[in-house]
Structure 1
């Protein structure tokens, strides 16, 4: 289920079956021209990935709104804000919370997160043709879907 009115209406009716939430982590920084295109491309790819993941695991997950953070801010500082999100999320019956990011900086601080980090290596627009992106995303979705299913079994 996506963060849209119709899906949220369904969620409210079936929340006992929706035990997993996916939180996309999106870097943002207008003050650094060198990273603008890279960050925008990563957001586009992550958006495609999370939409496909939501379709693959439909009925069991809720895709939260993107969590935007300043790329220049220390991740340790950002964790407090993120965990406040999670405290609110946990007022619902979510048993599994997954963060999805292409920013490897989150790996260093993931133990402070109130959830599980799924890190996807970032693709760069320079190294990929548009026709190559969808098969790669599809492959990643299949792998991550299997990972999430192992959490459901445990």
Structure 2
């Protein structure tokens, strides 16, 4: 389910069946990494929207956790607050999806909730190839999420 008025209304009615939330993680800076971060944002946004479609009715896609690059520990603490809030609202499974490799440093602290996917630059790719690559990535994520569901 998407974070919009129509689908949130449905979520509120069907809350008992929606046990998973996906948090896209989007870096922001105006440095020499800005272009790379914009590519990551495009990639993660596309991935999470397609992932939500795969699990419609069981998963809620919340607005992105947008953070300032290079802030490290402070941003990790903010993300942990998001996770605690989501878990307090009865989401059994919380997945935070990022392409920013700096987050790998906080994987342990985030208790297996972080999923890192290397970003693929899509800007100059033909649409048919872009779609195939994204579909392959979504299929990998589907398998990973189902595996995590089964292990709990």
The two structures share one fold, judged by TM-score above 0.5: yes
Q: Write the distance in 2 (CA, Å) between the matches of 1:151 and 1:4.
A: 27
SS of 1:98's equivalent? strand
In the alignment, is residue 20 of structure 1 matched against residue 16 of structure 2? Answer: no
1:41 aligned residue (28, 31, 39): 39
Q: Tell me, which stretches of 5 or more residues in structure 2 are unaligned?
A: none
Deviation at 1:22, TM superposition (A): 0.4
In the alignment, is residue 129 of structure 1 matched against residue 136 of structure 2? Answer: no
Report the counterpart of residue 151 of structure 1 in structure 2: 148
Report the counterpart of residue 4 of structure 1 in structure 2: 4
In the alignment, is residue 113 of structure 1 matched against residue 110 of structure 2? Answer: yes
* Contact 1:28–1:71, Cα closer than 8 Å, also in 2: yes
The number of residues matched between the two structures is 150
1:53 aligned residue (51, 54, 63): 51
* Contact 1:18–1:60, Cα closer than 8 Å, also in 2: yes
Deviations 1:100-123 (A, max 9, x none): 000111112111115511111111
Q: Tell me, which stretches of 5 or more residues in structure 1 are unaligned?
A: none
1:64 aligned residue (52, 62, 65): 62
Normalising by the residue count of structure 1, what TM-score does the alignment of the two structures yield?
Answer: 0.90
* Contact 2:52–2:59, Cα closer than 8 Å, also in 1: yes
